[in-house]
Amino acid sequence: MLSVAGLAVAQVSPANEGKTAEQVYKNIKVLQGTPANELNQSMHLMKGAVGLDCLYCHIEREWEKDDKPAKDVARKMIVMMNDINTRQFGGRQVVTCNTCHNGHPVPAAAPVFPVYEPAAAPKPALPSTDQILARYVEALGGEPALRKVTGRVVTGTQYIPTGPGGVVPTPAAVERYLKAPNLAVTTYKTATYAIAQGFDGTTAWSQDQAGRVTEPVKIDVGRAARAADFYEPLNLKRE
């Protein structure tokens, strides 16, 4: 399934199509020119890159405020990153937040070397990765039983982010259809609109409430491909 950030992008009002972030959102200082329908996803990617919650920099439901110093620090980091990409890589986005942070709030300033301690009592033997995965498949019924199933339908209710900034949770009836080996489509139906997303065996796609179909950013294509793998328990070692 595509990320929640991708769902938030799908909720951008048709009236904001083609507008930039500063035309839709308040107090945009360093991301001017970013398409409005990509801003939320950019924020979620930054969040994952530094391993912090949105509220580390923002005030909940008052995202435009500058009360927290961390927000200005983040802006300076974005300017630095853009400058490096402009000067060293011809404007291509080679350096990102994740390049230095790698999921941590503070980048490592030096490599971490192993600490050697005196030999201790021998540790108990642990199962290998192959053994763990084999036992997992066995617990699910075994490979022959898993391969006998070629289709699956999952239904339920999920709250999806809507509105500017994706701050309004809206309940949606979810229907997810999967077919072996790697086809998947999911629909989200609320009281006022419906959206969908899927993977056709090659690429991912999403459809907004106006019926427009778009392809997500590269990172979400990979996630969608993994989520659409019907026999994922059998392919975990490969992945």
Under DSSP, the state recorded for 111 is P
Give the pLDDT of residue 39: 86
**CATH numbers and ranges of domains, the chain:** 4-101 (1.10.468.10), 129-235 (no CATH)
Query: Is cis: bond before 181, omega within 30 of 0?
Result: yes
Residue in the structure block whose two tokens are 């239904």: 155
Q: What phi and psi values does residue 129 have, to the nearest 5 degrees?
A: -60, -45
For the chain, 239 residues long, the average pLDDT of each consecutive 10-residue run is 40 68 91 87 88 90 90 94 93 91 85 72 87 95 96 94 74 96 95 92 90 82 90 85
Residue in the structure block whose two tokens are 């979400």: 220
- Degrees (nearest 5) of the Cα angle 184, 224, 38? 120
What is the model's pTM? 0.54
Give the pLDDT of residue 162: 76
